[in-house]
Amino acid sequence: MIPKFGRAQFLGLDDAPEGGIKSYRAQVADGMRRDGPFRRLRYLARANYAFNYIW
C-alpha cells in the first residue's frame, strides 16, 4: 500500500508507475533492468520526484 500525504505519495519498488509498465522488481525479475543498491536508490528518487512533481 502506498502511503498518501494529501495528493503526494511515496512510490516503492513494487508499485507500477503507469498501467502497462511493470514495477521495478518485475523488470529485474524479467531481466529488463539490472539491480543493485545504488540503482534502487536512484530509481526511487527519480520515480518519486517525477510522480510528485505533477502535484
Residue-level pLDDT at 32: 93
Cell numbers representing residue 32 in the block: 529488463
Residue 24 burial (CB < 10 Å; 0-12/13-18/19+)?
Answer: buried
Model confidence, pTM: 0.73
- Residue 26 pLDDT exceeds 80: yes
Closest CA to 51 of 12, 17, 22, 1: 17
AA identity, residue 5:
F
Q: How far apart are CA 7 and CA 21, in angstroms?
A: 22
Cell numbers representing residue 41 in the block: 536508490
Domain boundaries, the chain: 4-53
Residue range 31-50, pLDDT digits in tens:
999 999 999 999 999 988 88
Q: Identify the residue whose cell numbers are 523488470.
A: 27
Residue-level pLDDT at 39: 93
